[in-house]
Amino acid sequence: MSSKDAERTDTGVARRTVLHTAAMAAGGVLLGGAIDLAAADEAVAGVRPRIYHRGEWNARKPKSWAVVRSAPPDRIVVHHTATGNSSARSRDHAFRLSRSIQNYHMDSNGWADMGQHLTISRGGHIMEGRNRSLKAISTDDHVVGAHTANHNSHTIGIENEGSYMSATPPRDLMTALVETCAWLCLAYGLDPAKAIVGHRDFNPTSCPGDKLYGMLPGLRRDVRSRLRTLQARVVLRDESAMPEEHRPTYPDVPSGERRAPFYHGPAVGPEEA
């Protein structure tokens, strides 16, 4: 057994989610009890929403492969793409969006690949982002992205198509976001009340927009409700053991922030570059 496999076995109970036929335990915390890890993996995979992998939307080959850490993420960061609020809802439009983001991140930013792990279009289509992301989620690992400066080692980023300073995200997008966050909380044993945050909770930026940011409390409640609908009992990770530097800092939103498509605030810190 490799050291990575040993680590996954030793800490599996702390980081995995177990689905039972019973209703969710009070507070969503499962304490004790026998855990069938193989069954848990199968159950989590069964509630994954339809996500189009990179081959389906014709992603470019990355300049280098993403770094994969055995330590899972502890925060789900919600972003907006800072692009126009298109009326297009088709899958083809969603695929073009992913290709445009990848081109911008690789050609304009000079990155090895796109920065976020997942992208959701205004039509509710969900696409894999950074290479190796889907595989890492399925094995309790974490791909280090480029979406939240100084916090990429412990956060998973979701880009939501559009600009939401004053506009409200479409219902299809929000439904897909709920499904995606519920799946991630199940996969990583995260409490939606604490795990789901906005980009501006860590970096000085208006992202994900005033309107979408104001909807995050409702998103957390909807994800929690979705977990109950799935009759999920969740093994939550110990929040008290989280390093202080992993906790949101809630910096001020800057005035006169640069507004440009695909730019939505600091994405890579000095030591992460």
The CATH number covering residue 126 comes to: 3.40.80.10
User: What is the number of H-type helices and E-type strands within the chain?
Assistant: 8, 10
Residue type at 8 in one-letter notation: R
For residue 66, being part of any structural domain is answered with yes
* pLDDT of the residue at 239: 81
Q: Domain of 88?
A: 48-223
Query: Which helix (H) or strand (E) segment is 269 a member of?
Result: none
Nearest to 117, CA basis, from 77, 151, 167: 77
For residue 112, being part of any structural domain is answered with yes
* pLDDT of the residue at 178: 97
Nearest to 266, CA basis, from 138, 115, 124: 115
* pLDDT of the residue at 40: 57
For residue 239, being part of any structural domain is answered with no
* pLDDT of the residue at 85: 97
User: What are the start-end ranges of the E strands in 34-191?
Assistant: 51-52, 68-69, 75-80, 118-120, 126-128, 142-143, 155-160
Q: CA torsion sign, 82 to 147 to 126 to 21?
A: negative
Residue type at 29 in one-letter notation: V
- Displacement of CA 122 from its chain's centroid (Å): 17
Sheet of strand 118-120, all strands in order from the earlier edge strand to the far edge: 51-52, 126-128, 118-120, 155-160, 75-80, 196-198
| pTM of the predicted model as reported, rounded to 2 decimal places | 0.86
Contact by Cβ (8 Å): 57, 99: yes
Distances (CA, A) of 26 to 19, 31, 66: 15, 11, 38
Q: What are 251-257's contacts with CB under 8 Å, separation 24+? A: 251/200, 251/202, 251/203, 251/204, 252/204, 253/200, 253/204, 253/205, 253/206, 254/204, 254/205, 254/206, 257/205, 257/206
Residue 198: how many other CB atoms lie within 10 Å: 25
Query: Which helix (H) or strand (E) segment is 228 a member of?
Result: helix 216-229
Please tell me what DSSP assigns to residue 65: P
Structural domain count, the chain:
1
Splitting the chain (273 residues) into consecutive groups of 10 residues, what average pLDDT does each group show?
Answer: 37 39 35 44 75 98 97 97 97 98 97 98 98 95 97 98 97 98 93 96 97 98 90 72 91 86 91 77
For residue 154, being part of any structural domain is answered with yes
For residue 11, being part of any structural domain is answered with no
For residue 32, being part of any structural domain is answered with no
For residue 76, being part of any structural domain is answered with yes
